[in-house]
Amino acid sequence: MTAIPQYTPSTPAALVGLYRRLIKLPERIPFSLVQLAARIAVAHVFWQSAQTKLASWPVTLQLFAIEYNLPFMHPSIAASLATTAEITGSVLLFLGLFSRLGALMLLGVVSVIQIFVYPENWAEHLQWASLLLLVLIRGAGVFSLDRLADRVFR
């Protein structure tokens, strides 16, 4: 038989103390790990998108001409710029090199997609924009070439 724990006046206080310790555990996660995860996650999305565009360039041009139909730019120019921004921004974010510039480039891509192409996918775009804004505002973090360059050139 298992004994039933006895209620003591200190039990609620102990539970509250345990709860407080548990909810503070995530505060021990280094912010640089969060920055690294954000960079890698969003870089992966745009890298994959660029690879899909490059895998079938004629289909990409057709998508930009018919489905995306940007009002201010010829489809071949838009496709080239979008693919270049996705590749460059992804590499910069992944390496953490000029990461704020990479984040800004990809925020531009997200903005165009949101405003002109798929406004109904705002929740997904908001996720990407949130990660990119984190990098833009706070930088790439400790695990980056930006940090290494800062130390070398300081």
- pLDDT tens-digit map of 32-80: 999 999 999 999 999 999 999 999 999 999 999 999 989 889 999 999 9
* Cβ within 8 Å of residue 42, ≥6 positions away: 93, 106, 128, 131, 132, 135
User: Quick check: 7 pLDDT over 60?
Assistant: no
- Look at residue 1 in the predicted model and tell me its pLDDT: 61
Tell me if the pTM is above 0.75.
yes
- Look at residue 8 in the predicted model and tell me its pLDDT: 58
Tell me what percent of the residues of the chain surpass a pLDDT of 90: 83
